[in-house]
Amino acid sequence: MTATAERTAIQVPTTMRASLLRKQGDVGLETLPVPALGDDQVLVQVVAVGVCGSDVHYYEHGRIGPYVVDHPLILGHELSGRIVAVGARVDASRIGERVAVEPQRPCRVCDQCRHGRYNLCSDIEFYATPPVDGAFTEYVTIQADFAYPVPDSVSDEAAALIEPLSVGIWACQKAEVGPGSRVLVAGAGPIGIIAAQTARAFGAAEVHISDISPDRLAFALQHGATHALDARTGTMAGLEVDAFIDASGAAQAVRDGILAVKPAGRVILVGLGADDVALPVSYLQNREIWLTGIFRYANTWPLGIELVASGAVNLDVLVTGRYGLADAEDALIAGRQPGQLKAIVYPGR
């Protein structure tokens, strides 16, 4: 970093620790240079990072679709931290702010960006998606307007989890969930529970959630869902919900959920599953059911922060494990243990 490129009032070292995915199944701690700041960027000292299913997938399989880990990669994209330096075009008063980071860098000039759909930018750079490094490290840079101030009432962990909350917000917006809506969510993992809480915050009168785990279903009933369905023994037929949000990625859950949607209802595919699944096409056609997937999110952080700050959504209840940076590999495999929902890595520890 150079004096002309940044302004800082907080001591920043020249090197930092980072947890690198060297290759499939191989994670280790290394020392790297602190990233240089662009004029429109802020340097964030990372405080908390949530472990996402995509991080686990890269660790276990070394790739997701066309994105292949072919060189060492820093994982992690659900993060909060504190601004410690700013670029030349950023107000120095932001130094010291606690922020939740939206972990993507769109080009801002393509057709999708100019229409507000910057999540679909073909040139977007997204944290922890090869070849872009993520946040299992002590410092990251991001464009200043993608580092959102958070109030003191929002914990560091909840601020980091605004990222998965944004997935739930984007899904509920696509599903047009509103006051009185009846919603079905498949999968009572972190995203499913977040989607259920978000649907209730949007005014849904009923939120049905399905899963094969009785413990997760019980937890979901305490945190957002109004009805629980055992996917192994229960049936979704006849529910006639306004919207179905799949957070499971399971082909059978997708099919069963579609068959529970009323005419002109909406189906939103969130979970990552097989590239191709069989769909009840005639049912979709005859009922004019609107079906789409979601790819990340756009313009969701302000609402997400407000939902958490107001108490409408509780993200802190999802955290079931906390790890230092040297134990990032343990955080990546924590989900294999019963009862685990969301692991948090603390790069400062």
Same domain, 184 and 82: no
CATH number at residue 244: 3.40.50.720
Separation of alpha carbons 186 and 270, rounded Å: 10
Closest CA to 236 of 264, 256, 214: 256
Same domain, 146 and 224: no
Q: Two tokens at 30? A: 């290394």
Question: Which are the contacts of 145, defined by CB distance < 8 A and separation ≥ 6?
Answer: none
For range 101-112, the mean pLDDT: 97
Same domain, 148 and 92: yes
Separation of alpha carbons 197 and 136, rounded Å: 27
Same domain, 145 and 194: no
User: Residue 4 above 50 pLDDT?
Assistant: no
Q: Two tokens at 164? A: 């998965």
> Which pLDDT score is estimated for 275?
85
Same domain, 73 and 179: no
Same domain, 107 and 194: no
User: Residue 260 above 90 pLDDT?
Assistant: yes
In a domain, 156, yes or no: yes
The predicted-structure confidence for 241-258, as pLDDT tens digits, reads as follows 999 999 999 999 999 999
In a domain, 21, yes or no: yes
In a domain, 300, yes or no: no
**DSSP structure class, residue 137:** B
Q: How many residues are given for the chain?
A: 349
For range 100-115, the mean pLDDT: 97
In a domain, 257, yes or no: yes
The predicted-structure confidence for 133-185, as pLDDT tens digits, reads as follows 999 999 999 999 999 999 999 999 999 999 999 999 999 999 999 999 999 99
Give how far Cα 14 sits from Cα of 2, 32, 33, 138, 142, Å.
11, 9, 6, 11, 18
Question: Which are the contacts of 319, defined by CB distance < 8 A and separation ≥ 6?
Answer: 157, 161, 341, 342, 343, 344
Separation of alpha carbons 291 and 50, rounded Å: 29
> Which pLDDT score is estimated for 5?
53
Separation of alpha carbons 294 and 272, rounded Å: 10
User: Residue 202 above 70 pLDDT?
Assistant: yes
Task: Kindly indicate the confidence band of residue 130, based on its pLDDT and cuts at 50, 70 and 90.
Answer: very high
Same domain, 10 and 155: yes
> How many domains does the structure of the chain reveal?
2
In a domain, 298, yes or no: no
DSSP for 186-245, written as a single string: E--SHHHHHHHHHHHHTT-SEEEEEES-HHHHHHHHHTT-SEEEETTT---TT--EEEEE
Task: Kindly indicate the confidence band of residue 273, based on its pLDDT and cuts at 50, 70 and 90.
Answer: confident
User: Residue 3 above 80 pLDDT?
Assistant: no
Give how far Cα 42 sits from Cα of 36, 61, 117, 150, Å.
10, 33, 23, 15
Give how far Cα 34 sits from Cα of 3, 45, 183, Å.
14, 10, 45
Mean of per-residue pLDDT scores for the chain: 95
User: Residue 1 above 80 pLDDT?
Assistant: no
Same domain, 146 and 176: no
Task: Kindly indicate the confidence band of residue 237, based on its pLDDT and cuts at 50, 70 and 90.
Answer: confident
For range 296-315, the mean pLDDT: 98
Tell me the helices (H) and strands (E) count for the chain, helix number first: 10, 21
Same domain, 47 and 188: no
The predicted-structure confidence for 55-101, as pLDDT tens digits, reads as follows 999 999 999 989 999 999 999 999 999 999 999 999 999 999 999 99
Beta bridge partners of 324: 346
Spatial contact of 153 and 315, defined as CB atoms under 8 Å apart: no
Give how far Cα 297 sits from Cα of 6, 121, 172, 231, Å.
30, 11, 11, 28
Same domain, 157 and 20: yes
In a domain, 306, yes or no: no
Q: Which amino acid is at 291?
A: L
In a domain, 330, yes or no: yes
For range 114-134, the mean pLDDT: 97
Buried b / exposed e over 22-35, threshold 16 CB at 10 Å, is: eeeeebebeebebe
Same domain, 131 and 173: no
For range 275-291, the mean pLDDT: 95
Give the side-chain half-sphere CA count within 13 A for 268.
29
3-state secondary structure of 340: coil
The predicted-structure confidence for 9-52, as pLDDT tens digits, reads as follows 678 999 999 999 999 999 999 999 999 999 999 999 999 999 99
In a domain, 49, yes or no: yes
For range 195-215, the mean pLDDT: 97
Separation of alpha carbons 158 and 342, rounded Å: 11
CATH number at residue 76: 3.90.180.10
Same domain, 14 and 152: yes
Q: Give the domain extent around 267.
A: 167-293
